[in-house]
Structures are given as C-alpha cells and as structure tokens.
Amino acid sequence: MGRDRVPGGERGREQDRADAELMFAGVERQAELVRTGKITSRALVEASLRRIARLDPALGAFRVVLAEQALAEADARDAVGADRADGAGGDEGTDGAGGRGPLHGVPIAVKDELDVAGQVTTFGGAANRTPVTADCEAVRRLRAAGAVIIGKTAMPEFGQWPFTESAAHGRTRNPWDTTRTPGGSSGGSAAAVAAGLAGAALGGDGGGSIRIPAACCGLFGLKPQRGRVSTAPHPHLWYALGTVGPLTRTVRDSALLYDVLAGAAPGDRWSARPATTAWVRALETPPGRLRIGYSATPAVPGVRPDPAHVGALLETVRALRELGHDVREVHPRYPDATAPFVAQFCGGVRAEAAAVERPELLERRTRRVLSLARLVPETAVERGIRAGERLAERADRMFATMDLLLTPAIAARPRRVGALDGAGLLTALVRSRPMIAYTALWNVTGHPAASVPAGHGADGLPLAVQLVGRRDDEIGVLRVAAQLEAARPWADRRPEPPTV
C-alpha cells in the first residue's frame, strides 16, 4: 500500500465510508472484530493505510508510514490459528505461545521519540540518521499484545513545545480545523486518532504533551503516574517529568492500553505502585460519591483562561453534580513549580541532544535552549527532582479534603499553525505558557491527570477539562472520566475530512 488516493466514484465512496466506520470504531471494537473473525488484521491495516494516504497529506500527522512492514505484521497476526481466538494457549495480555493478545491485529501509531525497530528515532528533528535495532519497552509490549505498528507520528524537536511544528518535518494540523494547531508535543498522535487514521497512538507527556493535544483534538488523554509505564531502554524521560501513554477516543480504550503498557522494567529510574486490579475491569465498579474540587485558576501566574474553557469547566461541574458527586469550588494555593520544571526540562533536552548523531543539524531554537541548558549542572537537575518531590507532598495536602481536582485542560484556544515560525526562544516560551498553564505542575509532582472532552466551542474546536487524582490513583480518574463519557458521549462526533 502506498499513498494512492481512494478511487473515485460510488465504489470509492463506499470504501471510504466503510474505512471510516472501522477506524472510528476504536481499539476495543477493532480487536473484537478481529478476534471474532468478522475482519482480518490485514483488512483493518489496509483501511488505516487508505485513510492515511487520503487524509494525511492535509494533516501531517505521520513522520513515516510503515506500510509494507505493517501489512507483513498483519499477515503474521492473521496466520495465528482461529482456534486461539479466545486467547487460549498464551499468557494473559500477551501474544505469546500462539495465542491472541488483547490488541491482536489492531494498528497503532507511535510518537517519534519512542524507538521502533528498524526506524530512525528522529525526536522531531533531522539530527539522527541511523535506524534503531530494537523496540522500546512500550512498543515491545504493544506488539506482545498483538498490535500492529502502523507508523511514527510527528512532534516538535525533542518535544519541547506544545505545538507540533518542526523545521525538518513541517507542521501538523488539527483535523477539526486545519488552520489550527493540534497542540503538542504529541500532536501527530492526536491528529492521527482524531482523524480516524489509527484507533490509538502512543504519546509522551513531559509538561502536558498528552493532555494538551488531547484537549485540542477532542480525545481522551491520561498522563499516568510517574513510573507507571516503562521508559526503557532509557532510565527516564526528561528525568522525573516525562511519562509515556496513549491518546484514544474513549476512556475504555485508554484503560485497555494501560492494561498492556503498565509496569516497570529493569533499568527504570522510577516505578509506580502496581494497580490492584485490571484497568478495564476497574471501570465496571462505579466510583461512588466523591468529593471533587474545581478551580479555573491556572497554576502558572499571569495567564487568564479563555471564557469558553471556563464555561466548559462549569458545565462539567453541573454534570458531576447530576452524577451525585459533592462538587465544590476550591482555591488551591499552587506551589511555584518553575525552578524544578526548568531544571529538568534543560537536563532532559540536553541528554537527548547529546545522543544525536548530527548535532549541527539541530534547529536554531534548540541550540539556543542547549546554550542555556549547559549552564544548568547535573547537580541542579537532581536538586530540581528533589524539589519536585517536596512540591508533590504539598500537593498531596490538597487531596486531604477532595478526591479529585477539576480544572480546564488548557487556557487558550488552539493557535493558528505557524506558532513557531520565526519565533526565537523567548517568543516560543511566551506562546507556550497558556497551553501548559494547567498541566505542567502535575509533571513536576508526578500526579496522574487526564484531559477529558467537554463539548465544542463556538469556533467548532473541541473543549476539554482536566481531572487530577491522588498519586497512584489513575483508576479514580478513569472511573469519573468514564461517568462523564456515559453522561455526555463524545466519541461519535467526527471532524470533517480535511482536504489538501
């Protein structure tokens, strides 16, 4: 399969409609269709590739599409005997011993900071040229569960910005309005899922990089507890800031993927307390009446939220009260996380840049960041980590009187594409502040936090809120997000197909 367009005429339109129904069905449904023999993995992958060929030229969601490899992988999935379709013969959650895992035959995309065997890990730039020889641990687990890797998605260089734009790979656009950004840094992954090019995609979150694009594109995106998903072969992702996780259309799809991804690996610097139950199974138990505090106050001073985002927050408050929760406005005294965040940001970018093959090909703005990062010694990075732990303890005290915190997900509406065009370091930082104003604190403290769709604004772009939970309580966040999804479903709403 190449990037040929869907053939014209009624037959072509019927094919396109059928492909859309498959790709917007989500991961759980796709896996069920393959498991029950209603569709083959190859047919599912072909549907994904046709949509990528037709729609991605207008979006730029993918840095590379692995068409031949994905089709070969799909054929291998289909070769697994139908008598194994119930999972017999393999370990639960794996595709071993000839059994079918929970993601068997499902195409999934991967952000370009994560290693996929045989592919260059570009980190959004041009400074790496040599393909890696092995999958990272998260991708290995996806494959072990039966997933097919469909391609690698676009990101800004080293994931530094909440806009998915790079000198090497161009701009990524929002499927809801291609003049707008999908956010970042996992914007390619978000655009791919929102446009129905893949059922789910892996992202990474070092300051909001899962939640911000989820908010911009109308998806569910949970930043898990620090150490929940392995960063191997690297001991960390931006030290204590970064986590790996999926962007999905539904809460259940997210839980399904976390059942596959969760768990530390040897060499991980951080590990989370193991969940006491399977994540999907946990959604079967209602959360009960919870104390939920809400606030429109950003954690970053000097930022004012757009009125549409405050309105979405208040609408969600009403929905949660109707669901029986005790929801009250709170006035959190957010700790200043600037120093520990900047120290680890500088350390993380410096560490990733030190590993590239052609540093002279780094973007000018990245080289400016590195000139400042070199002034931050490793001892200062370690002090930033320790300071973040102290801030986490302070944040924990907020949860003594509430079970969850509800805020807007982002402060500003998605900017027009080109936010980084000609922008120096200072300008890029100023333009980024409204996007990270509610998210970055929880990377410093490590608490789980999710972007939850909350309708659409007058501009036609999605709205979202953020749910923040106690440390190690992703399940609590997921349960309430699932309640909101049931009360006001969002997954059936789709963007119009973009045009080149």
List Cα–Cα distances, 471 to 182, 252, 290, 443, in angstroms.
Answer: 28, 21, 16, 12
SS (H, E, C) 373-387: HCCCCHHHHHHHHHH
Q: What is the mean pLDDT of residues 280-299?
A: 97
Residues 317, 321, 322, 324, CA torsion sign: positive
> Tens digit of pLDDT for each residue in 408-433?
999 999 999 999 999 999 999 999 99
pLDDT band at residue 469 under the 50/70/90 scheme: very high
Instruction: State residue 175's pLDDT score.
Output: 98
Predicted confidence (pLDDT) at residue 92 exceeds the cutoff of 70: no
The two three-digit tokens of residue 346, written as one number? 């500088």
The residue from 41, 166, 209, 230 that is catalytic is 209
User: How many other CB atoms are found less than 10 A from the CB of residue 329?
Assistant: 12
pLDDT band at residue 82 under the 50/70/90 scheme: low
Q: Is 111 one of the catalytic residues?
A: yes
Q: Sketch out the chain's domains with CATH numbers.
A: 12-487 (3.90.1300.10)
Task: Give, to the nearest 10 degrees, the angle between helix 27-35 and helix 251-261.
Answer: 70
Instruction: State residue 7's pLDDT score.
Output: 54
> Tens digit of pLDDT for each residue in 15-71?
999 999 999 999 999 999 999 999 999 999 999 999 999 999 999 999 999 999 999
Instruction: State residue 317's pLDDT score.
Output: 98
Instruction: State residue 10's pLDDT score.
Output: 82
> Which of 5-19, 84-98, 154-168 is predicted most confidently?
154-168
**Euclidean distance between CA atoms 189 and 175, whole angstroms:** 12
| 131 prior amide bond cis, ω within 30 | no
The two three-digit tokens of residue 65, written as one number? 């599409």
Q: What SS3 class is residue 46?
A: helix
Q: What is the mean pLDDT of the chain?
A: 94
Predicted confidence (pLDDT) at residue 98 exceeds the cutoff of 90: no
**Euclidean distance between CA atoms 18 and 148, whole angstroms:** 20
> What percent helix, strand, coil does the chain show, rounded to 5?
40, 15, 45
Instruction: State residue 500's pLDDT score.
Output: 67
Instruction: State residue 11's pLDDT score.
Output: 82
What is the percentage of the chain residues whose pLDDT exceeds 90?
92
The residue from 41, 48, 166, 185 that is catalytic is 185
Give me the amino acid identity at 267. Answer: G
Q: What is the mean pLDDT of residues 267-284?
A: 95
Beta bridge partner(s), residue 220? 248
Instruction: State residue 499's pLDDT score.
Output: 77
**Euclidean distance between CA atoms 112 and 386, whole angstroms:** 29
Instruction: State residue 121's pLDDT score.
Output: 98
Q: What is the mean pLDDT of residues 292-302?
A: 97
pLDDT band at residue 391 under the 50/70/90 scheme: very high
Q: Is 185 one of the catalytic residues?
A: yes
Predicted confidence (pLDDT) at residue 405 exceeds the cutoff of 90: yes
Residue whose pair of structure tokens reads 């291998």 in the numeric block:
76
Q: What is the mean pLDDT of residues 483-500?
A: 93
Strands (DSSP E) contained in 358-478 are: 404-408, 449-456, 462-469
Q: What is the mean pLDDT of residues 76-93?
A: 57
Cα-flanking dihedrals φ and ψ of residue 191, to 5°?
-65, -40
Greater pLDDT, 80 or 216: 216
**Euclidean distance between CA atoms 227 and 102, whole angstroms:** 23
Q: What is the mean pLDDT of residues 257-267?
A: 97
The residue from 41, 48, 111, 254 that is catalytic is 111
Predicted confidence (pLDDT) at residue 86 exceeds the cutoff of 70: no
Q: What is the mean pLDDT of residues 286-305?
A: 97
pLDDT band at residue 183 under the 50/70/90 scheme: very high
Strands (DSSP E) contained in 117-271 are: 148-153, 165-166, 170-171, 200-205, 220-223, 243-248
**Euclidean distance between CA atoms 169 and 166, whole angstroms:** 5
**Euclidean distance between CA atoms 290 and 459, whole angstroms:** 33
Residues 134-156 as b/e (b if ≥16 CB within 10 A, e otherwise) read ebbbbbbbbbbbbbbbbbbbbbb
Give me the amino acid identity at 490. Answer: W
List Cα–Cα distances, 413 to 19, 409, 440, 441, in angstroms.
Answer: 31, 11, 17, 20
No. of H helices and E strands in the chain? Answer: 16, 13
Q: pTM score, two decimals? A: 0.95
DSSP single-letter state for residue 357: S
The CA-to-CA distance between both ends of the chain, in Å, stands at: 20
